[in-house]
Structure 1
Amino acid sequence: MNPLLEVSGVSVSFDGFKAINNLSFRIGRTELRAIIGPNGAGKTTFMDVVTGKTTPDTGRITWDGKRRSIFARSEARIAREGIGRKFQKPTVFEEQSVQDNLIMAVKADHRPLAVLLYRPTPEHMARVAQLADEIGLTDALHRMAGELSHGQKQWLEIGMLLAQEPRLLLVDEPAAGMTPEEREQTTAILVAAAQTRAVVVVEHDMEFVRRLNCKVTVLHEGSVLAEGSLDHVTADQTVIDVYLGR
């Protein structure tokens, strides 16, 4: 089966510095993948390229079996392509309830007039209830998002992205600032999400990566340094020298 996303020979330079250097790898259609590496390894630039924020100098990206340009498009257009991205800092509507945040994410028509006149349908409310259950916030549906803990805000934002039915979900350092209990719940959310879509997690926390129990890609100086299980890559002497030994 063709991969959902294939990056082939992609390079990106900023003022002579190669943030991505001939990067090539592929992500399956239903796969959980962790990407690790030292600061400056190209992890964020990789996500920028995939979401169209940054245009590569060379190489190609094959999306859904076709060489399809997703560069320089609006976030809405990228979302319609089936790509969702969660940044490290959660972005939710803090003065709205958890339920309202999820309702805003599931409604189909996002044009200004439609937003003003919108009334949730029974189907949308059922989807909101399902999402709240998936992210562990059923008991918090009527709380203001601003009252949630850091971890709960992270879950809410993941739920808002899942509401858009992405085929690829990019998640940046979800475990940062979480309690051990919140990390366990976050692991469960991401593992469950990867049953029906591709989920790529950029993370520094090796304990959290081990919990994900998935294939790991190690980036260094914009290229793939090693790939395989966490035990495999952490036993690689080069990985130890450039990343784990620091």
Structure 2
Amino acid sequence: MSSLLEVSGVSKTFDGFRAINDLSIQINEPELRAIIGPNGAGKTTFMDIVTGKTKPDVGRVVWGERNESLLGLSEAEIANKGIGRKFQKPTVFEDQTVRQNLAMALKNPRGPFAVLFHRKTEEGAARIEEIAAEIGLSDQLTRTAGELSHGQKQWLEIGMLLAQDPRLLLVDEPAAGMTAEEREKTTDILRRAAQTRAVVVVEHDMEFVRRLDCKVTVLHEGHVLAEGSLDHVTADPMVIDVYLGRSDA
């Protein structure tokens, strides 16, 4: 397992509020990591900084074997480095079929002519079938995305990200609004994806995090409060005080 992403000494202030405070996190490849913490802990800002949506005031964000800095790169340039992000609300093309959604997301040559004249290849078709099986939608390929359940749309969006073959997948609260059965299946999808890449899951549902069975990072006031197994961090007195002991957590 090698280091893929290193966030070091990063701070970010918005209108006098320090959302990220000397934050340092290292993500390996492959790895499954859960990030938890109370509202305002800096979880979303952390993802915004990694994906280039927000620029930190100070600190380093280093990527890959060549220790490339991600700071100063656009969101598109960072995505092209192999960083995919899934937001809480699924964004799929509702009028297109599941197969078409996955086909549009496949890592193919970009540009107007490449897209215009790109023909379906046997390799592309096989890859779509492979991803559909991985996300549990093999029997839904001909359905339009708008007909899918909330959970199925979440899986389709994860599949669309996997089609781009990212090395790091950032997933924001995937269990929100799901049935117990859908949450269980989502756990399996993420665990499988993390066998060959880094997957970072930001989540509030502690039962879901327990099922992920992975290293957990607890954020509080923009920095790492505790890190380790879920049992380890939930036994930490500071975590209990600032997160688990709160009625609004």
Same fold (TM over 0.5): yes
- Equivalent AA in structure 1 for residue 130 of structure 2: Q
Alignment of 1:23-62 (within 5 A): 23-62=23-62
What does the per-residue CA deviation read over 1:13-39, in whole Å, with 9 as the maximum and x for residues that have no partner?
A: 111111000001211110000000000
Q: Does the 8 A contact of 1:132 with 1:141 survive in 2?
A: yes
Task: Name stretches of at least 5 consecutive residues in structure 1 with no aligned partner.
Answer: none
Match of 2:188 in 1: 188
Return the offset for 1:2.
4.0
What does the per-residue CA deviation read over 1:156-189, in whole Å, with 9 as the maximum and x for residues that have no partner?
A: 0000000111000000000000001101110000
- Aligned-partner Cα distance in 1 for 2:148–2:210: 27
Return the offset for 1:58.
0.8
Return the offset for 1:120.
1.3
Match of 2:239 in 1: 239
Match of 1:220 in 2: 220
- Aligned-partner Cα distance in 2 for 1:101–1:72: 31
Q: Equivalent pairs: percent with the same residue?
A: 74
- Kindly indicate whether residue 170 of structure 2 is the aligned counterpart of residue 170 of structure 1: yes
SS in 2 for 1:119: coil
Return the offset for 1:9.
0.5
Return the offset for 1:233.
0.6
* TM-score using structure 1 length: 0.97
Q: Does the 8 A contact of 2:10 with 2:56 survive in 1?
A: yes
Q: Does the 8 A contact of 1:19 with 1:221 survive in 2?
A: yes
- Kindly indicate whether residue 115 of structure 2 is the aligned counterpart of residue 115 of structure 1: yes
User: What root-mean-square deviation, in Å, do the aligned CA atoms of Structure 1 and Structure 2 show?
Assistant: 1.2
| Comparing 116-125 and 94-103, the one that deviates more | 116-125
Match of 1:148 in 2: 148
- Kindly indicate whether residue 83 of structure 2 is the aligned counterpart of residue 95 of structure 1: no
- Aligned-partner Cα distance in 1 for 2:122–2:95: 24
Q: Does the 8 A contact of 1:132 with 1:138 survive in 2?
A: yes
- Aligned-partner Cα distance in 1 for 2:107–2:164: 9
| Comparing 52-61 and 38-47, the one that deviates more | 52-61
- Equivalent AA in structure 2 for residue 54 of structure 1: T
* TM-score using structure 2 length: 0.95
- Aligned-partner Cα distance in 1 for 2:65–2:45: 22
SS in 1 for 2:152: helix
Q: Does the 8 A contact of 1:2 with 1:64 survive in 2?
A: no
- Equivalent AA in structure 2 for residue 69 of structure 1: S
Return the offset for 1:72.
4.7
Q: Does the 8 A contact of 1:54 with 1:71 survive in 2?
A: no
- Aligned-partner Cα distance in 2 for 1:76–1:134: 26
